[in-house]
Amino acid sequence: MKKILCIGNSFSQDASRYVWGISRADGKEVKIVNLYIGGCDLARHYRNMMSENREYTFEINGMIKTGIRVSLKEALLLDDWDYVTLQQQSLQGADYDTYTPYLHALSDYVRTMCPKAKLMMFETWGYEEGSQKLASTEFATHEDMFRALHDAYGKAQKEIGAVGIIPGGKAISLATEMGGLPIYRDSYHMSFGFGRYLLGLLFYGTMIGNGIEENTFRDFDEPISEEEVAIAKKLATLALKADVK
């Protein structure tokens, strides 16, 4: 059984929703936990690390409402995690200055608490092209925001020696280029069907499975056509293979 802990926010909530189901459909056992605080950034994760307060909602295997509250320390010591993912808040993620010194302190803490776990950076994504949410940022286009995010996450991976990056930003960029896909639900969070499924495939393909093309999972929270399922698999495969410069 692979065990994954996400130290994140609503973006990792989106990403973790279908991972357990996708894995189960392929005969793989997984335990995935998301530590949820809406809009949480690395600075707040750092403060939570220092305080040891029970600030996080504990979301296990895609279940959003468990009613369990935990501290960061409690979550890290709960199990023998194979992977721990870190991320920055969506807009701050494009500015590497916001990562320091918090990312280094958090990664050191994770390694102390979970010496066997592999650290991964979960790359977030640009806001919806043409949206007011995107217009409120310094970026003119979705691609501009993605490129800034990608550069920052690449630097973060190298700085802390993470074993890899889960390419959420790349996958959503590819989906945006195709056009006409139900990616977002509110211009920055993922749709309950296609968007979350695409991210779930990335998590599965990066840390759990041998491939995603034949996966039979279809238990979505909103309808996805078979054509969209095939597109999500294709986009996830491309993102996982991509070497973006």
Q: Which amino acid is at 105?
A: A
pTM of the predicted structure, to 2 decimals: 0.96
Question: Which ranges of the chain would DSSP assign to H, the alpha helix?
Answer: 10-16, 19-25, 42-51, 72-78, 102-113, 132-135, 142-160, 168-178, 194-207, 226-241
Q: What are 180-210's pLDDT values in tens digits?
A: 999 999 999 999 999 999 999 999 999 998 7
Question: With 70 as the cut, is the pLDDT of residue 73 above it?
Answer: yes
- pLDDT (0 to 100) of residue 210: 72
Q: How far apart are CA 14 and CA 238, in angstroms?
A: 20
Q: What does the mean pLDDT of the chain come to? A: 96
More confident residue, 181 or 245: 181
Compute CA distances 79 → 16, 158, 164, 178, whole Å: 18, 26, 21, 40
- pLDDT (0 to 100) of residue 244: 41
List b or e across 97-111, with b for residues whose CB sees 16 or more CB atoms inside 10 angstroms: ebbeebbeebbebbe
Min mean pLDDT across 95-99, 155-159, 239-243 is at 239-243
Superfamily of domain 2-241: SGNH hydrolase (3.40.50.1110)
Question: With 50 as the cut, is the pLDDT of residue 245 above it?
Answer: no
Of 81, 68, 172, 186, nearest to 122 (Cα)?
172
